[in-house]
Structure 1
Amino acid sequence: MDWSKSKSIFIVVFLILNIFLYSLYVNRYTEAQLVPVLGDKDIEARLQDDHITYGTLPTNVEKAAYLSGEVKNFDEEKIDIQNAHSIIVENKNKLVVTLKNPVKISNINNEINYKLFLQNHVYEGESYSLWQVDKENKKVTFFQRVKDRKVYYNINGVLTLHLNEKDEVIRYEQTLLEKIEEYEEQENLLTPVQVFQALYSKGLLKPNSNITELKLGYSTLVQLTRTQVFVPTWEVRVTTSDNKHEEYFVNAVEGKIIDVQLDATKVEAVENEVEDALKAEEIQKQIKENNEDVVEE
């Protein structure tokens, strides 16, 4: 393959990337327009009729700003981590750390028991909050916290601990967002009742369910570039009548329901394709240079 053909393939890959981003935006915008508007009294009455319950709602969250930040490049500085057997940097933005001595976590379901580990063994460890404990696969997932609020499912702000059978941390992978800045304009946020309205209108709040948690965090509008923008997002946790646990995320400014896990998966897949294209381009460039050297000789 010649160099011009390689460049053409590279351009096509980024064209596909742009189409993907645009389609993602259009789908989100269209979904937001389809949500019917109900009054607060209407939605509260409907929840009551369907025996959908909830506890005390937040009353002091009325405004918040968009945030911006950058993906940490771990190649830019020497990372020194206590008790590290090996530290590997993957793709500049991911640390893979294997510990020299496993570290015991006394109760893996209790976030406070990770505090010392995060302080002593993880770069900027206090920036992360516990999200999920996967006992079957012996994995513990933390999301990065900015402005004291979680950033949901951003592949560039995640800490994943790997445990052995004794619930000891043996290694972990880490990505990090840095240089977080707050936009000047404070946005009016949806009230908790309006969040319930958005979910109910989509049929996501089922009869006899209990809304167990409502918290404000951030989700990422686009996470394919080094500089990223985060939008205030309501996290809603629900327990259904058959004791299933569900989680939903609602854009706190526009009222759109966000499938953050799906978006993160799509983004990761596209990033992998772009990375493969970059590697292929570099290989072709090297082959071309080698061929030119042979001709000159």
Structure 2
Amino acid sequence: MDWSRTKSIFIIIFLLINLFLTWQLLDKKSANQIAILNESSIQEILNDNNISIHVELPEIKPSGLHLVGKKKEWTQAMVDVVPLPADNLSFPEPTRLVATLDEPYPISDQNMGQQLRSFVNTYVLNGSAYQFGAFDQDNRRLPLYQQYEGFTTYTYEDDQLVLNFNEKQEIIGYEQSILEFEEHGREHDLMSSLRAIEGLYTDQLLRMNQAVTAIEFGYHSLVHQEGAIQVFAPMWQITVVDEQEGEQNTYLINAIGGEIIQ
């Protein structure tokens, strides 16, 4: 074997690999610089149009997937953990628990949030994993939604946990379904919060002299699906306020495709 010739070939291959890796590194660095410049340009456009952002922009992972949520059937082991008498529990469906209280649980206007959190953490299975939604005054119901890796999952017309109130603003019971989540499909790039805001500006849903007052990343199931399985898409929820016109609008922006839902 000609070792001199073999050695020369290995050296050439090594140099070619180094050149390739160096090119990849420079290409990645260039792409990152372009992204930074583009986001800087977005901020300049917002400033030029007197569009203000009143909240800190959340940071998320650069890539992510859809979620599939499947309702769990209640087992005896799960029921045994619920700190309420068995006579107070019923199961209209294998995946849904309905709990009633012997005595209404009072909630005062002072420190309402803390009182509600205390009730949920005490009387609901895995209560600390739920985030509060908006109170339904007409039906005296407060929905709560499970979290996945610190982000809230919002279901469509099928609340995961609901606290029921009487006319005295006292909790009289609750209904609960528990979802098990799995990541589904291939991984996609996720747009940043600033990119989502740019999408609203491009579609003229965010205009001169308006303000972004709330922005949240979460997972949303927007289509009613029969059965125990729901699909959730990663989305940004952004609230835009026009103080001069006295208007407020909230939009959902798909963090994968950029589609805007009003």
TM > 0.5: yes
Contact 2:156 2:222 in 1 (8 A): no
Aligned length: 220
Residue 163 and residue 197 in structure 1: after superposition, are their counterparts in 2 closer, same or farther (change >3 A)?
same
- Distance in 2 (CA, whole Å) between partners of 1:245 and 1:124 is 34
Contact 1:161 1:169 in 2 (8 A): yes
Query: 3-state DSSP class of the match of 1:151?
Result: strand
Match of residue 52 from structure 1: 51
Match of residue 7 from structure 2: none
- Distance in 2 (CA, whole Å) between partners of 1:108 and 1:181 is 39
Query: Comparing 72-81 with 227-236, which one deviates more in the overlay?
Result: 72-81
Contact 1:149 1:216 in 2 (8 A): yes
- Distance in 2 (CA, whole Å) between partners of 1:132 and 1:75 is 30
Match of residue 36 from structure 1: none
Question: Among 106, 111, 116, which residue is 1:104 paired with?
Answer: 106
Unaligned runs of 5+ residues in structure 1 are 1-38, 260-297
Match of residue 24 from structure 1: none
Deviation at 1:150, TM superposition (A): 0.6
Deviation at 1:136, TM superposition (A): 5.5
Query: Comparing 47-56 with 167-176, which one deviates more in the overlay?
Result: 47-56
- Distance in 2 (CA, whole Å) between partners of 1:156 and 1:93 is 12
AA at the equivalent of 1:215: E
- Distance in 2 (CA, whole Å) between partners of 1:176 and 1:63 is 26
Question: Among 212, 237, 252, which residue is 1:249 paired with?
Answer: 252
Deviation at 1:123, TM superposition (A): 2.6
Structure 1 residues 144-293: aligned runs within 5 Å: 144-178=146-180, 180-183=181-184, 186-220=187-221, 223-241=225-243, 242-258=245-261
Deviations 1:105-127 (A, max 9, x none): 34487543322211222233222
Residue 225 and residue 255 in structure 1: after superposition, are their counterparts in 2 closer, same or farther (change >3 A)?
farther
Deviations 1:205-264 (A, max 9, x none): 2443221122211113764343433222112123332444432211111111246xxxxx
Deviation at 1:133, TM superposition (A): 2.5
Deviation at 1:132, TM superposition (A): 1.1
Deviations 1:71-107 (A, max 9, x none): 1223786624334563232343332222111112344
Deviation at 1:160, TM superposition (A): 1.7
- Distance in 2 (CA, whole Å) between partners of 1:190 and 1:167 is 41
- Distance in 2 (CA, whole Å) between partners of 1:211 and 1:174 is 33
Residue 95 and residue 118 in structure 1: after superposition, are their counterparts in 2 closer, same or farther (change >3 A)?
same
- Distance in 2 (CA, whole Å) between partners of 1:79 and 1:227 is 22
Q: CA RMSD in A?
A: 3.1
- Distance in 1 (CA, whole Å) between partners of 2:148 and 2:68 is 10
Unaligned runs of 5+ residues in structure 2 are 1-37
- Indicate the structure (1 or 2) with the bigger Cα radius of gyration: 2
Structure 1 residues 29-48: aligned runs within 5 Å: 40=39, 43-48=42-47
Residue 93 and residue 47 in structure 1: after superposition, are their counterparts in 2 closer, same or farther (change >3 A)?
same
Query: Comparing 188-197 with 70-79, which one deviates more in the overlay?
Result: 70-79
Name the TM-score, length of structure 2 as normaliser: 0.69
Contact 1:162 1:170 in 2 (8 A): yes
- Distance in 2 (CA, whole Å) between partners of 1:258 and 1:196 is 13
AA at the equivalent of 1:47: L
Contact 1:151 1:157 in 2 (8 A): no
Contact 1:221 1:228 in 2 (8 A): no
Query: Comparing 71-80 with 213-222, which one deviates more in the overlay?
Result: 71-80
Name the TM-score, length of structure 1 as normaliser: 0.62
Structure 1 residues 107-146: aligned runs within 5 Å: 107=109, 110-135=112-137, 137-146=139-148
